[in-house]
Structures are given as structure tokens and as C-alpha cells.
Amino acid sequence: MSDEYIGIGASFFLAGIIAVSMVILASTLGKKNPTRVKSEAFECGNSPFALPGGKLAIKFYLTAILFVLFDVELVFLYPWAVVYRDLGLLGLAEMGVFLGILMVGYFYAWDNGALKWK
Amino acid sequence: MNGINLNALVLLLPELILVGMALVLLVGARRLRSAVRVAGITVVTAVAAGVAAVWVLGMESNLGYDSMFTVDGYSQFFKVLITGALALTTLLSVRFVVESGIRIAEYHALLLLACTGMMVASSAVDLLTLYLGLELTTLCSYILVGITVDRSEANEAAIKYFLLGSFASALFLYGIALTYGVTQTTNYEGIHEAAQAVRVLGSPGQMILLAAVALLLAGLAFKVAAFPFHAWAPDAYQGAGAPVAAFLAAASKAAGLAALGRVCLVALDAEDRVVAGVLATVAALSILVGSMLAVSQTNMKRLLAYSSIAHAGYALLGFVAATSAMATGAAVTEAMSTGDGAMGAVALEASALEMSAMEALASDGAAASMTYALLYVFMTLGTFGVLVGLGDRGECLDDFQGLAAQRPGIAALMLLFLLSLAGIPPTAGFTAKFGVLLSVVRSGHWWLAVLAVLCSVITAFVYLRVAVVMYMKQPEKDVPARFSWAVSSALAVAALVTMIGGIFPAMALMDGIFPDFVPVWAVPPGN
């Protein structure tokens, strides 16, 4: 029974090695040229320390929410891919319908100018 | 793996029609500028979906998607009702859409999607399908309440509704999880069987199951705005536009009742003794609190919100009768099966008679609740419709001063709906109340019937006060504009149902027939 979990353990181990080695390699081999901005904590373009009430461009929020929306929907593609052969052509058609409905949402966002960076 | 059955897709035809049109509206959102045209399309779609809902009943198989979705008389009855409410709401909102400057296609797409969710909820025979349907409905409702983004009251109402609504959804989901923990299934039939086994064995799982019952009922009581989960309704109705409030009060409540009925009568019927007790308490308190709080309201939408809370209580009475009758029936069956040898032939026969009486009572009770939902939807849409038509003159109670002298036709129409809401014959409200009270008395809940009648007197005061203001005060404000054709036609339909629903069953009563307004094909569910 525990055999099934060896693979999971191995992938955790590998993921840990990769993450740790990247940090170590970057800090030992990397070129260092610090500026004030580069030394700040990275917060996707926001100032990491600011009082609430400061201005925030709404376009960041809009892009992020659209990304989360479509990203979460696309999670359904992975389980579908696993059982793709069992489902056959009808499964393909069904996923086509699903993606079609998703594309209507995408088209709606595009059509209404949500993707314009203005 | 059952594979995918194309025939099952036909079962979803009414839902597919609504979803399809919603998608078309979204794609064409920026090119559809005429509110009248979009409203026309939506009404036609609603009618088509209603026709499809009845047509689908003729299908051979009525269970689809791994027994998660069913098409039976009960579900299709509510679907026709929901599409009717959708059509009337659309007609009522034509002027609202134009005047408030909201996005036309999106508003109608949200209405269509909310109705799709309601339809799925009334067809659900699996708790997860039910959750999906209810979530789709409430997510669209949150946006509809706050769709006038430049009005701060609408934003406040939407936020309040959203916070309480997501809390109720979480409770409901927790209930599903606990149910699954005890019964290892989310399917209604499966829950019914497993719960029966749990009850017979008397295992510790029963306590968890009872907690699950409480959580599920709490989530559903929120959807029908029954006490003590009613607090959102007055704020949401007041802040939302009048047509949206009408939609929430009518369609949303009907769908909640549909879901509640099936969950109580099919999934949880092993615990019907407890369910009946909880429902009786919730119904009694909803009637009491709704009636009492409506007395002091001066804003018409808040007044109607509290009245809708009371009406939710009345509508639940039929299910109280049905669940307690089923519990008694189950007790008789148990006595028959355990005391088989000891019982004489006469006693057995008496038990069998009582069993069939209880079955009849259960189905009559559910039918009474369905009748109540049907008639309530139309009289509520009618009352809200008058508010919509009056516009600014329909906001507060004082605005109605002297309406009868200025516009006698409108005042008479409002009076008809108010009398119906109060339950005075020969209007539909009387038929509806008579049915639920009769079934509650027959199931032995005398105190509940007495309380309901006493509170009817209180609500009669609430509604007749509006009539007094309309007929016995001098007008102080300008004469309101005539109703547009869209509002007039919606009100004509609502008034027609309110009158027919009052007159025909009254005639049936004289012949001694139980006055339900449920067609023969719409048999209530049960095991």
C-alpha cells in the first residue's frame, strides 16, 4: 500500500532539491548589482509598504481576476486528459462545448475592452 | 463509468434553451442596444423553455447523468412556474433597464442564468447537483441586486446579501459533507436508504446525520428567506431595483421551496420526525416574525419583504404536514413489521388503512405547498409590478395617498393583489392559505393552524393599511403616469391568475374537492 506513495515522496524530494539548489546557485554564482528598487520585497509592482487608501491602478486587478478565472476553469482539462481515451469522441465534443462556453466569456471580456492596457 | 448518454441531453432541454440564449446575449452584448428587443427575446425564450419543460415529461427515461438529475412532474411544475416568473419579471423590468442605464444584454443574461440554476435545483436528485443549481442562482442574484452600480444603496444591499448568502452556502456545503460522511453518498435515494439503515442500527452516525439535517435545512431556509435566516431579505429587496426584488421574492423563493420539498420528502425522510419538527418551528416563527415586523414598515419594498418572509412560513406548512404524515406512516409500517405475529387481522387491516391515509395526506400536503408557491409567485409579482409601474410614487407608504382618486384602475389592481396577499376570498391567496391550513390541521398540528390564522389577521392589517391610504386619504402628489404596455401586460397575467386561482378552487370546494392547483401530472415526490 505504501508503495503508491513512493512516487509522491520522490516528487516532493525532487521539487525540494530544485527549489533549494536554485536559491543556492543564484546566491553563490549570480552577479550582484543591487539598486534601491531591486532590494525591495517583490510585490508584483506594488509598493510593499504602503498605508491603505493609496492609489492602485484597476487594470492590475482586472487582469489578475481574468487570469484566475480562466486558470481555474482550465484545471478541468487535466482530469479530462487522463480519461481522454475512455471518453472517446463524445468526450472530445463535450470538452469542445465546455471550451466554447469558456471562449464566450473570453470573447465577452475582450469585446468589452477588459484586455486593453490603458 | 456509464459513459455519456446523448438521450440524457434532451432532459436538459429547457435549461439548454435558457443557457443558449444567455450565451447569445453575452456575445452580442455590445451590439444589442434596444431594451425592448432584448426583453422580447427573453420572454420568447422563457415561453419556449416552459413549453420544452412540459414536452420533456414525455421522455421514456427520466433520470440522467448518473442519477443526479431527474425530470418528473414535480420538477417540471416548478420549471414552468419559474419560466412564467422569468417572463413576467422581464416585462416588468423594461423601463427599469432603460432608466437606470444598466447594461441591457447582461441584465437579461443574468436573469436567464439565474433561472437555469433554479431549474437545475428543482430537478436535482443529488445534493451536489442541488448545490450547483442553488449557487448559480445566488451568484446571479448577487449581481442583479447590485446591478445599478452607481446607486450606493444597491451596492450595500448586494454586499449584505453576498456576505450572508455565502455563509449560508457554506453551511449547506458543510451539511452535504456530513451527510456524505454518514451515508457515503450524495444521491437522494442513496441517502434515504443509508439513513434508514443508520436509524435502525441506532449507531452514533445518527447524531452526525441530525447535525447534517440541521445544516441542510439552514441552507435551504436561507434561500426561501424563512426565519431565522431571513435577515437579508428586507435589505436586499429595498436596495435592489423593484423588478429584481420581485424576481427574488417570487422565482427565487419558489425554487428554494422546490429544492426543500424534494430534500425533505426523499433524501431525509428517514428523519422525517425531526424534519417535521424543525420545519414546523421555522414556519411558525417565520409567520410570526414576518407578520409582526411588517406592521411597522413604511417603505413598500421592506413591507413586502417582511410579508414574503411570512408567506415563506405559510408555504412551508404543506411540507410540515407532508413530512409529519410520512413519519407517522413509517412508524405504522415499523409497528406492522415488528408486531407481525402478535397482531390480529383486524389490527393489520387498520394499520394498512392508516398507512394509505398517511400517504394521501403526505401527497396532499406537498401539493398544498406547490399550490401555495404557484399562487404566491403571481400575486407577489403583481404587487411588485404595481410598485414598478408607479416608479418613484411606489417607494413609500405615504406615496400611495389618494391613489384611488387619481388612478382608480391602478388602485383597484393594487387592492386585488393586497387582498390576495392577505388571504381574503375569492382571491388566490385564500385558496393557497386554505390548502396549507387544511393539510396542517389534518396532520394534527392544531397549534400551527391557530397561529397561522391569528397572524393572518395581523397581516390583513398590514395590507389593508395600504388600501386605507390609497382610498381614504387626499392626494398630495402629482398624478402618476400611465403604466407602459409591458407592465400592463405582466400585471394582466398576474391579476388573471390571482382571480382564477381564487374563483375556480372555491367552486371545487363547494363540491367538496380538495382545492389544489397542481396539475395531475405534477405528482409530488416521495419514496
Task: With beta carbons under 8 A apart, name residues in chain A contacting B27.
Answer: 104, 107-108, 111
Residue B23, min C-alpha distance to chain A (Å): 7
Q: Shortest CB distance from B1 goes to which of A86, A101, A105?
A: A86
For the residues of B350-417, what is the DSSP string, one character each? HHHHHHHHHHHHHHHHHHHHHHHHHHHHHHHHHHHHHHHHHGGGGSBSGGGTTHHHH-HHHHHHHHHH
Tell me which residue of B319, B326, B320 sits closest to B357, measured CA to CA.
Answer: B326
Q: Is B126 helix (H, G, I), strand (E, B) or coil?
A: strand
Q: Which helix (H) or strand (E) holds A13?
A: helix A4-29
Mind listing the pLDDT tens digit for each residue in B249-284?
999 999 999 999 999 988 888 888 888 999 999 999
Q: Write out chain A residues lying below 8 Å of B1, CB-based.
A: 86
Distance, CA of B123 to CA of B69 (rounded, Å): 6
Alpha helices in B240-271 (DSSP H): 242-247, 253-262
Distance CA B369, CA B313 (A): 10
Averaged pLDDT for residues A4-22: 92
Decide: B238 and B299 in contact? Cβ < 8 Å. Answer: yes
Greater model confidence, B26 or A41: B26
> Nine-digit cell at B221?
431556509
| pLDDT for position B508 | 59
ipTM: 0.78
* CA distance to partner chain A, nearest, from residue B27 (Å): 6
* Cis amide prior to B228 (ω within 30 degrees): yes
Calculate Rg over the CA atoms of chain B: 23
Over residues B341-351, the pLDDT tens digits come to 566 777 777 78
The CA distance from B285 to B452, in Å, is 10
CA distance B213 to B4: 32
Contact B91, B39 (CB under 8 A): yes
Distance CA B35, CA B105 (A): 8
Which of A86, A94, A107 comes nearest B27 by C-beta? Answer: A107
Take residue B508 and report the three cell numbers written for it: 371545487
First to last CA, chain B: 27
Q: What are phi and psi of B124, to 5 degrees?
A: -70, 135
Contacts of A105 in chain B (CB under 8 A): 26
Q: Do A112 and B6 touch (CB under 8 A)?
A: no
Enumerate residues 6+ apart whose C-beta is below 8 A from B24.
none
Min CA distance, A70 vs chain B (Å)? 17
- Interface A–B counts its CB contacts (< 8 A) at 21
Cα B420 from Cα B392, distance rounded (Å): 24
> CA-based diameter of chain A, in Å?
57
Query: How far apart, in whole angstroms, are the C-alpha atoms of residue B137 and residue B121?
Result: 9
**C-alpha to C-alpha distance for B42 and B105, rounded to whole angstroms:** 10
In angstroms, rounded to a whole number, what is the distance separating the alpha carbons of residues B368 and B372? 6
Rounded distance between C-alpha atoms, residue B437 and residue B448, angstroms:
8
Q: Which residue of B has its CA nearest to A97?
A: B20
Look up residue A27 and give its three cell numbers.
546566491
Residue keyed to cell 484586455:
A115
**Rounded Cα gap, residues B345 and B469, in angstroms:** 65
List of chain A residues whose C-beta atoms are within 8 Å of the C-beta of residue B30: 111-112
CA of A108 vs chain B CAs: smallest distance (Å): 6
| Percent share of chain A, pLDDT over 70 | 92
Question: In a 10 Å sphere around its CB, with 0-12 CB exposed, 13-18 middle and 19+ buried, how is residue B130 labelled?
Answer: buried
Split at pLDDT 50, 70, 90, the class of A36 is: confident
B476 grid coordinates: 398630495
Q: What pLDDT does B513 receive?
A: 54
Amino acid at the residue A102: L
Q: pLDDT (tens digit, 0 to 9) for every residue of chain B, 527 residues total?
A: 344 566 778 888 999 999 999 999 999 888 888 889 999 999 999 999 999 998 988 877 778 778 888 888 889 999 999 999 999 999 999 988 988 888 999 999 999 999 999 999 999 999 999 999 999 999 999 999 999 988 899 999 999 999 999 999 999 999 999 999 888 899 998 998 888 888 776 667 788 889 999 999 999 999 999 988 999 999 999 999 899 999 999 999 999 999 999 999 888 888 888 889 999 999 999 999 999 999 989 899 999 999 999 999 999 999 999 998 888 888 887 777 776 556 677 777 778 888 888 888 888 888 889 889 999 999 999 999 999 988 888 888 888 888 888 888 889 999 999 999 998 888 888 888 988 998 899 888 899 999 999 999 999 999 999 999 989 888 887 778 888 888 899 999 999 999 888 877 655 555 555 556 666 666 777 65
Q: CA-CA distance, A53 to B482, in Å (whole number)?
A: 47
Residues in A touching B4 (Cβ below 8 Å):
87, 90-91, 94
Give pLDDT, residue B510.
55
Distances (CA, A) of B260 to A65, B71, B84, B318, B363: 34, 16, 20, 12, 15
Q: Which long-range contacts (CB under 8 A, 24 or more apart) does A97-103 make?
A: A101/B23, A102/A70, A102/A73
Angle B408-422/B428-442 helices, nearest 10 degrees? 0
Whether B286 and B226 have beta carbons less than 8 Å apart is answered as yes
Please report which helix (H) or strand (E) contains residue B7, including its range: helix B6-11
The residue of chain B nearest to residue A102, with distances taken between CA atoms, is: B23
User: Rounded to the nearest 5°, which phi and psi values hold at B64?
Assistant: -140, 170
User: What per-residue confidence (pLDDT) applies to B107?
Assistant: 93
Q: How far is CA B285 from the centre of its chain?
A: 18
Q: Are B398 and B469 in contact (CB under 8 A)?
A: yes
Angle at B432 between CA B427 and CA B435, to 5 degrees: 130
Q: Tell whether the model's pLDDT for residue A43 goes beyond 90.
A: no
Name the residue of chain A whose CA is nearest to B19's CA.
Answer: A101
Chain A residues closer than 8 Å to B23 by CB:
101, 104
Among the partner-chain residues B1, B4, B30, the one whose CB lies closest to the CB of A94 is B4
Instruction: Report the pLDDT value the prediction gives residue A117, as an integer from 0 to 100.
Output: 79
Is A91–B26 a contact, with Cβ atoms under 8 angstroms apart? no
Given a contact cutoff of 8 angstroms between Cβ atoms, the answer to whether B59 and B114 are in contact is: no
Average pLDDT score, chain B? 87
Cell of B55: 414536452
Q: Which three cell numbers stand for residue B263?
A: 430534500
* CA–CA gap between residue B16 and residue B115 (Å, rounded): 11
CA distance A40 to A54: 18
- State which amino acid sits at residue A82: V
Q: What would the grid cell of residue A51 be? A: 498605508
d(CA B500, CA B426): 9
For B26, name the nearest residue in chain A, comparing CA atoms only: A108
Buried b / exposed e over A95-106, threshold 16 CB at 10 Å, is: beeeeeeeeeeb
Residue among A54, A77, A73, A53 nearest A65 (CA): A73
Point out the residue among B4, B26, B30 whose CB comes nearest to the CB of A90: B4
Task: Using CB atoms within 10 Å of the CB of residue B346, give its burial: 0 to 12 exposed, 13 to 18 middle, 19+ buried.
Answer: exposed
Question: pLDDT tens-digit profile of B462-512?
Answer: 999 999 998 988 888 777 888 888 889 999 999 999 988 887 765 555 555
C-alpha cell of B117?
A: 440554476
Contact B195, B183 (CB under 8 A): yes
User: Nearest-CA residue of chain B relative to A87?
Assistant: B3
- Nearest C-alpha in A relative to B6: A90
pLDDT tens for residues A91-108?
A: 888 889 989 998 998 899
Closest chain A residue to B5 measured between Cα atoms? A90
In chain B, helix, strand, coil percent, each to 5?
80, 0, 20
Q: Which of B4, B26, B30 sits opposite A104 (nearest CB)?
A: B26
